[in-house]
């Protein structure tokens, strides 16, 4: 039971962050393209800047939560394996 993957608040946070990132992806890519690669460039409006911030914020939050969840799962599996090995030696 210790090593089972449990759904907790990290799962929901990870998927919310991914949803924010994907929701803001198209408009932020369009805004950045128009501002930096299009000739003549157009300046970023406040709304465009917020979309870019949401995109990168969601991406960073998703990556951090994914990393934390992976470490948490690995640590639980390692602990369960150590307990099994210790129990097998004692018996």
Could you identify the residue written with the tokens 């690995």? 74
Per-residue confidence (pLDDT) for residue 78, from 0 to 100: 75
| pTM > 0.95: yes or no | no
**Rounded to the nearest 5 degrees, what angle is found at the Cα of 74, between the Cα atoms of 73 and 80?**
90
Peptide bond before residue 40 is cis, with ω within 30 degrees of 0: yes
Q: How does pLDDT run across 8-48, given as a tens digit for each residue?
A: 788 889 999 999 999 999 999 999 999 999 989 899 999 99
Q: How far is it, in rounded angstroms, from Cα 15 to Cα 20?
A: 9
């Amino acid at each position: 039971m210790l090593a089972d993957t449990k759904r907790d608040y990290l799962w929901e946070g990870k998927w919310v962050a991914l949803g924010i990132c994907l929701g803001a992806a198209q408009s932020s890519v369009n805004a950045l393209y128009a501002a930096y690669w299009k000739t003549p460039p157009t300046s970023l409006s406040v709304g465009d800047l917020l979309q870019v911030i949401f995109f990168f914020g969601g991406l960073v939050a998703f990556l951090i939560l994914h990393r934390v969840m992976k470490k948490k799962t690995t640590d639980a599996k390692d602990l369960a394996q150590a307990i099994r090995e210790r129990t097998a030696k004692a018996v």
